Structure formats: C-alpha cells, structure tokens
Amino acid sequence: MNHPDELQLIAFQDGEMKERQEMDEHLKECAKCRAELERIEAILRAMNALPVPGPGEDYGRRVWQRIAPQLAEKRVHWWQGWFEPRRLAAAGAVAALVIAAFVAGFFLRSNRGEPLDVTNETFVRQRVLWLAVGEHLGRTEMMLMELANAGPNVVAAKQVDISSEQRRAEDLLEENRLYRQTALQEKDPALVSLLDSLDRVLLDVAHSPGRIAPAQLAIIQQRISDQGLLLKIRVIQQDLRKKRGEAPLSPPRNDSTVQERNKA
C-alpha cells in the first residue's frame, strides 16, 4: 500500500475506511504515517478535553418555565381519543355497555312480544350514553365526596395523603373526556357543561402529588364547593335516571352536599 493521504488516515481513525487491514499492515511498517495518525488522534483528544460548563441542576425546569407560556394546547379531534391505547380500556367498557344495551333491549322486547324497532336507534344510543355516564358520575361523585371530606389526621400535620383519590382522578379524567366528546356529539349541553367542570377539577387532582399540604387541599375543596359540583352531579344523575325511566334516588345525607344545596 502507498502512503495514505491525510483524509484516508482520518477515515481510518474514524473507523470508516474499507481497506482497514491493508492500512493496519502499512502502519506497522511506516513510522511517518504512524506519527501522522498520532497527530490526528492528539487533535481529537484535545477536542474531547474541552470542558462544557454545566447549566445547573435545575436547568430543565428553567427551560420549561421559559417555553411553557409559548406552547399552545394541542387540538384533539373527538374521535382520536377513542383510538389511543391508554383509552382503549374505557372505550372497551363503553362498547361493552352498547352491546349489553342492545342485547337487553332485544330480549326485553322479545319477551313482551314487541317487534324490534330499528328506527329507534337514536334512543338506544342515548340510553347507552345515559347509562354509562350515570356510572361515571357515580364514581366521580364518590371520589369528590371523599376529597371534600378529607383532612389531616392530626391537626398539626403538614401533609394530607390523597394518593388514592389522585389515582382514581387519573382514571376518571380519561373517561370524563371520552364521555364529554360523546355528549358533544349527542348535543347534550347540560351534560357537556358538567363534564367540562369536572374535567378541570379532575385534572387538578390527577396532577397533584400523592401527598399535599392542607392549604392545597383546601383550595381543591373550595373549588369543588364553589362550583357546586356535587349538587350538579346529583341533578344530572336524577335527570339521567328519569330519562332511563327509572325512579329517582333520594340523595345520601352528606355534609358537603347539604352545604352545597343550602348555598344553591
């Protein structure tokens, strides 16, 4: 092999040379080329030795603080959410309810000897939504009631454990958004409005740490109370029960709901 030129030596050093074996053999015999290769390696070693001053441990947080105000919310189409893997469980539950409603309706009518009314599709769809949303509102109400009644075990405690509510809020948040999208499609403004209000509170709770200061808890409780969420849930639930042709339930006695009702 002839003496390699500078670029060939650089390529060899980089590991990107095809005739590697020939070059190895040449370098064993040629002191001049070995010295040239050593110069190239010295340059790269010196480059690697250049320090990069660290931007500080909290640099990531600072970057976020600077860019966050400039980030617009991503617009999401209502149907996109149903096909996301994390929502498939909730979507599956709703699909199961749809099937159950159809099957139940079919057998009910068969038993009564009524013909299956295929034109009543809208009613069936709405019935499924009422049923599923009723379940969802029941779970949300339960979680919010627990949160509204939560407090430190000891008066002087610096933190309150809401990890259980926080985890449930995360799940409920996913469902809530799905039902809101469906309610929008079904043009049910009262339900959309309630689910909107719930979305904000659920988001706050879901994004809270598992243990929060009593003052933070008080802010959440105040928000639940100010918006009359528990009362609104009960009103919509009663309405849904009426729509489904079921007898209204008498509300459970609870301090927060009583306070909210009085306020309303």
Partner 1 sequence: MRESADSAEIQGIGDDAAIERVLAGDRNAYRVLVERHSHDIYRLAYRMTGNAHDAEEVVQEAFLRAYQKLEKFESRANFRTWVYRIAANYAIDRMRQRRSDEAHRELPGKKVEDGQEFEPLDMAVDTAPTPERLAGSVQLASHMEVALQELTPMERTAVVMRHWEGCAIEEIAAALNSNSSAAKNTVFRAVQKLRRALAPFAEGHVAAKSAGMEP
Altogether, the residues listed in the chain come to a count of 264
Choice between 50 and 154, CB closer to partner 1: 50
Binding-residue total with partner 1 (CB under 8 A): 54
Q: Could you say whether residue 226 binds partner 1 (CB under 8 A)?
A: no
- Which residue reads 């379940």 in tokens? 135
> Which of these, 184, 228, 222, 179, lies nearest to 199 by C-alpha position?
179
Beta carbon nearer to partner 1, 186 or 199:
199
| Stretch of residues binding partner 1 (CB under 8 A), selected from 40-48, 122-130, 236-244, 250-258 | 40-48
In the list 31, 53, 187, 215, the residue contacting partner 1 (rule: CB under 8 A) is 53
Among 16, 111, 115, 119, binds partner 1 (CB under 8 A): 16
Residue ranges of the alpha helices (H) in 15-87? 20-29, 31-48, 59-67
215 in contact with partner 1 (CB under 8 A) = no
Q: Position of tokens 């009583």?
A: 258
- Please tell me whether residue 52 binds partner 1 under the rule CB under 8 A: yes
| Measured distance CA(263)–CA(236) in Å, rounded | 18
Among residues 18, 32, 66, 112, which is the contact residue for partner 1, using CB under 8 A?
Answer: 66
Q: What b-and-e string marks burial along 135-173, b requiring 16 or more CB atoms within 10 Å of the CB?
A: bbbeebbebbbebbebeeeeeeeeebebeebbebbeebb
Q: Which of 21, 22, 25, 42 binds partner 1 (CB under 8 A)?
A: 42
The residues, any chain, with a CB within 8 Å of residue 195's CB and separated by 6 or more, are: 176, 179, 180, 183
Tokens of 139: 């779970």
| 212 DSSP β-pair partners | 160
Q: Is 61 in the site for partner 1 (CB under 8 A)?
A: yes
CB under 8 A: which stretch of 23-31, 201-209, 229-237, 252-260 binds partner 1?
201-209
Nearer to partner 1, 203 or 235 (CB): 203
Q: At what angle do helices 255-263 and 214-226 cross, to 10 degrees?
A: 50
Helix/strand/coil for 248: coil
The pair of structure tokens assigned to 238 is 């009663």
Q: How far is the C-alpha of 33 from the C-alpha of 61, rounded, in Å?
A: 50
Taking CB under 8 A as the binding criterion, the range among 54-62, 107-115, 129-137, 229-237 that sits at the site for partner 1 is 54-62
Instruction: Note whether 10 binds partner 1 by CB under 8 A.
Output: yes
Q: How far apart are CB 174 and partner 1 at their closest, in Å?
A: 9
89 binds partner 1 (CB under 8 A): no
Residue 214 touches partner 1, criterion: CB under 8 A: no
Q: What do you get for the CA distance between the two ends of the chain, in Å?
A: 94
Give the integer Cα–Cα distance in Å for 108 and 116.
10
Among 3, 14, 89, 246, binds partner 1 (CB under 8 A): 14
Positions that interact with partner 1 (CB under 8 A): 6-7, 10-11, 13-14, 16, 35, 38-40, 42-44, 46-50, 52-55, 59-61, 63-64, 66-68, 70-71, 73-76, 80-81, 84-86, 166, 170, 177, 204, 206-210, 216, 219-220
